[in-house]
Amino acid sequence: MSSSSAESDNTSDNSVPTFTSSLIFNVVVGAAIFVAFCILRPRFKRVYAPRTYAVGKEKRSPPISNWPLAWIPAVLKVDDDAIVQRVGLDTYMFLRYMRSIFVIFVVLSFLSLVTILPVNITGDGGATGLDVLTIANVPSESAKLWVHIVFFMVFVAWVLRNIFVELQVYTRLRIWWLTNPSHTSKVGASTIMVSSLPEALTDSDDKIQKTFNMFPGGVRQVIVNRNCSDLEELVEDRDSYVATLEKLLTSYAAKSEKLYKKSTKKGTEYKAPKRPTMRESKIPFKGPKLDSFEFLATKIGELNRKIAEMGADPEQFKRQSSAFVFFNKQIAAHMAAQTVLDYKPFSMNMVSLEISPDDIIWSNLNLNPYDRRIRSYISLAATVGIVIVWTLMTSALTALVSVKNLRKIPGLENMSDSKFFGIFTGVVPAGVLAIVMALLPIILRLLLRLEGTTRVSEVNLRLLNRYFFFQVWNVYLVSIFTSSILTIATDGLKDPGSIIDLIPSKVPGSSTTILTYILLLAFAGAAKEILQIVRLALRYILPLLFAKTPRKICNAETPAEFDWATSIPTHSLIFLMGFSYSFIAPIVNCFAAVYFGLFYLVYRYQFLYVYNDSNWVTGGLSFPKSIKQTMVGVYISEIYMLLMMVAKLANNDNINANAILRIIFPALILLLTIFAHVYINDAYMPIINYLPIRGAVEIEENPRIASKFPDVTASGDITNDDLETDSVKIAEDRVRRMIYATYGSLVPRKLIDYVLNKVPRLLNPKKRDDPIASSSSSSAPQILPEITETSASSPDLEEKMPVPHHYSTHTGVVRPISDNSNILSVDSQNVRNAAYSVPMIDEPLDQTDAPSIHSVTSATELRQRRRQALASCTSVNTMEQRKSRYSMVDTGPLVSAGANALAEAFSNPALRANAATCLWVPLDNFGLCNELYANVESWGEGTIKVVSEGTHIDEKGHVRADVEFDPDDTDFIKRALNSHSKDSAN
């Protein structure tokens, strides 16, 4: 025991330099990165402010001035309703969660610093180093332990109170989001995806429709998925050939211009560069060498014709055991998702709501239910194996950089006396742990897809749970507590009776490791998040090295997306770390508050100005999972308190009623928390996933309620949430609702009302720079225009308003099949321009009558043509004239779309593939490749069009591209092929 005690003292002595070194290092690194961001932000709009131009007008954020710190007040003054309008409910609830946890730790920091910390410092328990600040410095027999118990009860009550309030807010917002016209106007709101259909239903749309006609409003349309594996292979091969040909043509054009300039400068005759060759066989050195341009173009033409032939008749593809069912009423879809649909085992047992074609994992739709179940067992076993392997790996890595093992290396015996030692032990273990954990989500996400999960959003939502519990085990319990657990286990084997004695001294000793980990993520992590160094490199550095074609250059410009599945569990882990040590080492509360405060500020900027949120639309379903993970942190902290009091009792020679009560109270706290958790599951969880029938009825009777941001803290019925008609009252009502939304989780609603009654000027609308809010001085920024009694019957309004699907049974008109479509023709113009859909940019002017690029013989004329083309498509302002390549808008089909439009939108991507190809390559400035481009189009036999708009070769020979130009737009391809036909005829 003496050696162990000496080692413990030595570790405690090292805790101060380890902590200070980590604090200084992370603060310096974080500050440097923040300064770099403030300098780079005004200069790189495409990285740091794409949401000021790359989204629809109603979702744009106003530009921020170039003053380095101007972004902070700009993001903090945006009201809650404006946040929901711009970035959606998912982001709003995530920001509310971060703000709520920040407020929780601010309050805990204040309470613990004025109560628990002084008790720990004056405890006279003989602790050294940072342990002086922990409960380890309080003797087991001291009555001061009651301070920890009482205030821990206050801590738990404060957290549970915030959870209840936030759940009340979320349930109100969830119902409002489900019934809001901007959501119900999309056909996905009233659509379900059913898997594992029995054979009796698979072969007949009528039988499927008859089955689901049992639900209110009946079925509008049924689409059965088809096996298109052969067509998918053709499309994949075609796309591979297209990528190769674009790369070769781009390289050849750049090389031709370079050689022409050299020959002109030297006064010699220009010789075209050698054309690349390739073999048809994939086996090396087999077959004759062929001209790459001719071979690839011919191959693409052949594949395009096969794609057109196979896709012309979708009925030839085998029907499979999954289908999309479109209801006439939204409530019918929610009822179907909760109903037992078949009497056979596992038949129609997978029903998904809120369907978007882009969210579907098509390869997993038709798995046999038994096959899917076997896969889930294999995935679970693989996950357990990964947990074991990762546990051993992380333990080995953290042990490798531990004090004890470093001293065994020759020459490092006195390493503890150097300043480098403190920095090394404070930074390296946390950094190594963060790097190792970054690899894990890739593997877990792959396993979830292999299970047969049918939607990307479902994969991410399930990954939220797996990754969180993986982090709790590997990061929190294994990595951070490795030294404490091993010490307790080793000494416990020698003297089993000493295990209880070791807990009060060893567990608090891990607070230094927790502090260094939180410091790393709080300062360096938040700064790295806002700097977006990877995105910066992808957009401005890597394209110079690897992106050699216009298409690859534009792919590097893809807007950044937030990784929900890994970010939320990480923040939940930090809450667990902070709250579980809130009474053990109160100083942890302060750094947890800093962590959540910094990330809350950073995320407000990222979501309002950077992140593309269009691919994650779940209506805030990640928020209940965050609440569940928060409850895990509460449970673990309560178990810690109970074990700590038990350990203190075991170390107390004078066991009395007072010492026993110190165990009973933590046990009661744990029991009450279990009751609270059961209440949450019974009261809130059933009304989160599905639309309540009563809510649907009330909204149908009074649709105006769903058009306005709700009173989130109200406890009354939805029908009590009346809308004012007086402009002054409307403005005051909006301010009141924003105050409720902002401060309702901090103070009781009655106190807010009391203050507002005493100080009515607080209800005066504030002047804001927000263009959304300033557009109307009499009402709040709405998701959709507010419907009043006088305007409800206005013909103009009816044309602008979407069709709210919970009270409409509109059905589309089936249009004839088009000869130019691979499947049922799409009324795409109707889908894009349907009433009050997200505004789409007008299509570019039809230039099919313009002369072909191959008819230009003068280099001067060619350069003029190129400049004119660039002038018409490179400016950001051209987004007002045509559809943006990376426009962050949700273009899902609306309920007003026809049956054929739905058939194409929800068909297999292979059936939606174009049977024509645009090769996006630059023109050289001297017309050297005109003949080659014409030959490529000829070899493609009418299915290939060489497109040079939006790209060129600059004076240095580098390929440039307009990142907003989309050569693969379907209408553009049709016009391009039409233009080619006219050129050929002439």
User: What does the pLDDT average to over 801-807?
Assistant: 36
Segment among 146-160, 597-611, 775-789 with least mean pLDDT: 775-789
pLDDT tens digits along 955-969: 888 888 887 777 876
Of the two residues 379 and 401, the one the predictor is more confident about is: 379
Inter-residue contact 926 to 257 (CB < 8 Å): yes
Of the two residues 783 and 875, the one the predictor is more confident about is: 783
Name the phi and psi angles at 949, rounded to 5. Answer: -65, 145
Spatial CA neighbour of 502 closest among 486, 515, 482:
486
User: What does the pLDDT average to over 629-646?
Assistant: 89
Give exposure, 739-757, as e/b (b: 16+ Cβ within 10 Å). bbbebbbeeeeeebeeebe
**The pLDDT of residue 838:** 29
Spatial CA neighbour of 313 closest among 823, 819, 818:
823
Q: Using pLDDT thresholds of 50, 70 and 90, give the confidence band for residue 392.
A: confident
**The pLDDT of residue 491:** 53
**The pLDDT of residue 804:** 36
Q: Using pLDDT thresholds of 50, 70 and 90, give the confidence band for residue 250.
A: very high
**The pLDDT of residue 222:** 92
**The pLDDT of residue 235:** 93
Segment among 437-451, 724-738, 802-816 with least mean pLDDT: 802-816
| CA-derived radius of gyration, the chain | 32
**The pLDDT of residue 418:** 52
**The pLDDT of residue 951:** 87
**The pLDDT of residue 802:** 36
User: What does the pLDDT average to over 23-40?
Assistant: 87
Average pLDDT for the chain = 76
**The pLDDT of residue 241:** 93
CA 148 – CA 120 distance, rounded (Å): 9
pLDDT tens digits along 516-529: 778 878 888 888 88
Of the two residues 418 and 242, the one the predictor is more confident about is: 242
Of the two residues 15 and 840, the one the predictor is more confident about is: 15
Segment among 319-323, 373-377, 545-549, 780-784 with least mean pLDDT: 780-784
User: What does the pLDDT average to over 677-699?
Assistant: 87
| Cα distances (angstroms) measured from residue 905 to each of 317, 360, 968 | 17, 12, 17
**The pLDDT of residue 667:** 92
CA 27 – CA 520 distance, rounded (Å): 9
SS3 351: strand
SS3 918: strand
Inter-residue contact 965 to 949 (CB < 8 Å): yes
CA 321 – CA 227 distance, rounded (Å): 10
Q: Using pLDDT thresholds of 50, 70 and 90, give the confidence band for residue 485.
A: low
pLDDT at 103 over 60: yes
Name the phi and psi angles at 196, rounded to 5. Answer: 60, 45
pLDDT tens digits along 839-853: 222 333 333 333 333
User: What does the pLDDT average to over 862-883?
Assistant: 41
- The sign of the dihedral angle between the CA atoms of 598, 601, 603, 605 is negative
**The pLDDT of residue 409:** 57
Of the two residues 678 and 60, the one the predictor is more confident about is: 678
pLDDT at 724 over 60: no
Q: Using pLDDT thresholds of 50, 70 and 90, give the confidence band for residue 854.
A: very low
pTM score, whole prediction: 0.80
User: What does the pLDDT average to over 665-687?
Assistant: 91
Q: Using pLDDT thresholds of 50, 70 and 90, give the confidence band for residue 268.
A: confident
User: What does the pLDDT average to over 89-113?
Assistant: 92
pLDDT at 363 over 60: yes
Segment among 21-25, 280-284, 772-776 with least mean pLDDT: 772-776
- How do the residues of the chain divide into helix, strand and coil, expressed in percent and rounded to 5? 65, 5, 30
Of the two residues 455 and 136, the one the predictor is more confident about is: 455
**The pLDDT of residue 809:** 32
Compute the C-alpha angle 418/424/426, nearest 5°.
Answer: 110
DSSP 662-718: HHHHHHHHHHHHHHHHHHHHHHTTHHHHS--HHHHHHHHH-GGGGGS---TT--S-G
| Cα distances (angstroms) measured from residue 908 to each of 195, 634, 710 | 15, 45, 38
pLDDT tens digits along 563-619: 898 899 999 999 998 998 888 888 889 999 999 999 999 999 999 999 887 778 888
pLDDT at 471 over 90: no
Of the two residues 87 and 403, the one the predictor is more confident about is: 87
pLDDT at 821 over 50: no
Strand 277-279 with 289-291, pairing: antiparallel
Q: Using pLDDT thresholds of 50, 70 and 90, give the confidence band for residue 939.
A: very high
Q: What percent of the chain has pLDDT over 90?
A: 22
- The sign of the dihedral angle between the CA atoms of 45, 46, 49, 54 is positive
CA 737 – CA 448 distance, rounded (Å): 41
DSSP 565-598: HHHHHHHHHHHHHHHHTTTT-THHHHHHHHHHHH
**The pLDDT of residue 592:** 92
